[in-house]
Structure 1
Amino acid sequence: MELTLTTIMVAFAGVFLICFMKGAFGGGFSIVGIPLLSCVMDPVTAGGLLAPLFIAMDLFALLYWKPSTWSKPDLALLLPGLVIGIGFGYLVFRLLDHRAIAIVMAVLTLIFVGLWLVAGAEIATRPRSRPKAITAGLASGITTMVAHSGGPPLAMYLLPLGLSKEIYAGTTSLFFTVGNATKAVPWLLLVKPTASVWTLMAICLFAIPGGVWLGWRLHGSLDQRQIYRACYGLLVVTALKLLWDGASGYLA
């Protein structure tokens, strides 16, 4: 990858957008910034660029999403599956066709949002379920490893619980802090970033504080209903991006 001014500016904007989403929603929607990165580098290189940056983003976001915003009972159910799922995702990336996983995840996400719309787009208050949490953790681990898109499975578990907007964002933030730290080494083994990629990482670090802070300010200005509607809307964007990535891979 050639390190040009255009590459630096586009990558910086993509990382800033991802940080903004982490500040506003706690994480899980980083895929919305990846199309910007894909304008100046291939998806695998982008994955290698983001893997270490995610750790820095998450650590900075935890300055805002403190332990008081974590749903510890849900995290206890979700995190073991997440770690195992990342291991499966690594094998999928190396051995199997991850485009099919992207398509399946996209379809399931769109169905989930469709059911929410049919139900009247209300905030649900369903009880937590151990089987659903384990399944969500596994699915999120796989999709975050193969496509940096672990948000939909986690959201499909957390949103129906009707958590407060702070607890939802804080729980999501810690969940992906663990996930991104776990998947960083496998991604770096797969990609082996060049010197120019490491340089670009260092430059993009400066996008993190402002992006997270601005997103956090947006979170504070929105009420519970607006946050949930935004999350469901972002799920649609994420699903369409996954569907495009998967389908275009077969058509290419």
Structure 2
Amino acid sequence: MLDLTVEAWVLAVIASVAVGMAKGGLAMVGMIAVPVLSLVMSPVQAAGLMLPIYIVSDIGGLIAFRRDFDLQVLKTALPGAVAGVGIGWATAHIVPVAGVTLIVGLIGLIFALNALIRPDLGTVRRAPSPAKGNVWGLLAGYTSFVSHSGAPPWQVYVQPLRLPALVYAGTTTWFFAIVNWVKLIPYAALGQLSLPALKTAAVLVPVALISVWVGLRLVRIMPQKLFYQFITWGLMILSIRLIWQALSG
């Protein structure tokens, strides 16, 4: 296993809880995983450690949301997302992570502020759009590859669709589960899935799986209006965190 300090183990557990709750439907919570671990290790190492936990947690999320997802939304966004992962792989050695993190943070912050200042814009459900879906899907796939932070671009596309809370959560879970499986090949090729990292991830997986159930319970009992307020505020807070992380180096 990785030689982690007590502090690092505590932060790794927190990150695993966040990943599990994200797969249970609270997608924005998962964005704190890599930033939290980046306090005690490099973002690249943190992303590599978290990917196996994401993938195993995805299984729990897919079981929970096996009926609650919108296939049309997935069809409009996944081709772009796969292309985004490919671009991330091709440019992994030349694009600074801080720059991508800053862009993700700015996109998320602008969208969240717009949703809070002009809430009437989201009262009418929009239809899925292949053009918009693939553009935002590409950004989500690319930023997910770089730092597991694909939620803001994804939310920019999906939140205006005004899906029912469970369908929103399930569609998000299915989208990122597929993206994470696609990421396995380039992550392995880049050496980010080392044996010590995989052993450490195995210890953290049970924590994440329990947290999937916690997230699912919260989504099922949370009123839909409160659900969208939660993800909007969560997006804003986490976007500010990403901006600060990028600017602070």
Q: Same fold (TM over 0.5)?
A: yes
Residue 160 (str. 1) matches residue 160 (str. 2): yes
Q: Name the structure 2 match of 1:207.
A: 207
Shift of residue 151, structure 1, vs aligned partner: 0.5
Instruction: Tell whether the 8 Å contact from 1:31 to 1:238 is kept in structure 2 after alignment.
Output: yes
Cα deviation per residue 1:8-56 (whole Å; 9 max; x = unaligned)?
A: 333122201221122132x354221233322332221111111122110
Where does the alignment leave 5 or more consecutive residues of structure 1 unmatched? Answer: none
Between 1:144-153 and 1:236-245, the stretch displaced more is: 236-245
Inter-partner Cα distance in structure 2 for 1:4 and 1:109? 33
Amino acid at match of 1:119: R
Aligned CA distance change for structure 1 residues 111 and 169 (closer, same or farther; 3 Å): same
Shift of residue 108, structure 1, vs aligned partner: 2.0
Residues 227-242 of structure 1: pairs in structure 2 closer than 5 A: 227-242=227-242
Inter-partner Cα distance in structure 2 for 1:31 and 1:232? 13
Instruction: Tell whether the 8 Å contact from 2:126 to 2:162 is kept in structure 1 after alignment.
Output: yes
SS of residue in 2 equivalent to 1:69 = coil
Inter-partner Cα distance in structure 2 for 1:115 and 1:103? 18
Inter-partner Cα distance in structure 2 for 1:74 and 1:230? 22
Amino acid at match of 1:2: D
SS of residue in 1 equivalent to 2:218 = helix
Instruction: Tell whether the 8 Å contact from 1:45 to 1:191 is kept in structure 2 after alignment.
Output: no
Q: Name the structure 1 match of 2:50.
A: 50
State the identity %: 29
Aligned CA distance change for structure 1 residues 95 and 58 (closer, same or farther; 3 Å): same
Instruction: Tell whether the 8 Å contact from 1:28 to 1:150 is kept in structure 2 after alignment.
Output: no
Shift of residue 120, structure 1, vs aligned partner: 3.0
Shift of residue 106, structure 1, vs aligned partner: 1.6
Inter-partner Cα distance in structure 2 for 1:171 and 1:132? 16
Inter-partner Cα distance in structure 1 for 2:158 and 2:38? 30
Inter-partner Cα distance in structure 2 for 1:192 and 1:98? 15
Inter-partner Cα distance in structure 1 for 2:7 and 2:53? 19
Q: Name the structure 2 match of 1:224.
A: 224
Aligned CA distance change for structure 1 residues 97 and 38 (closer, same or farther; 3 Å): closer
Inter-partner Cα distance in structure 1 for 2:49 and 2:193? 7
Q: Name the structure 2 match of 1:38.
A: 38
Between 1:189-198 and 1:38-47, the stretch displaced more is: 189-198
Cα deviation per residue 1:171-210 (whole Å; 9 max; x = unaligned)?
A: 0000001001111222233244444322211101111221
TM-score scaled by structure 1? 0.90
Instruction: Tell whether the 8 Å contact from 1:8 to 1:200 is kept in structure 2 after alignment.
Output: no
SS of residue in 1 equivalent to 2:93 = helix
Inter-partner Cα distance in structure 1 for 2:14 and 2:137? 30
SS of residue in 1 equivalent to 2:45 = helix
Residues 121-200 of structure 1: pairs in structure 2 closer than 5 A: 122-200=122-200
Shift of residue 84, structure 1, vs aligned partner: 0.6
Inter-partner Cα distance in structure 1 for 2:141 and 2:149? 9
Residues 1-20 of structure 1: pairs in structure 2 closer than 5 A: 1-20=2-21
Inter-partner Cα distance in structure 2 for 1:51 and 1:248? 25
Aligned CA distance change for structure 1 residues 47 and 3 (closer, same or farther; 3 Å): same
Between 1:155-164 and 1:85-94, the stretch displaced more is: 85-94
Q: Name the structure 2 match of 1:63.
A: 63
Instruction: Tell whether the 8 Å contact from 1:29 to 1:151 is kept in structure 2 after alignment.
Output: no
TM-score scaled by structure 2? 0.91
Shift of residue 161, structure 1, vs aligned partner: 0.8
Aligned residues: 247
Amino acid at match of 2:71: K
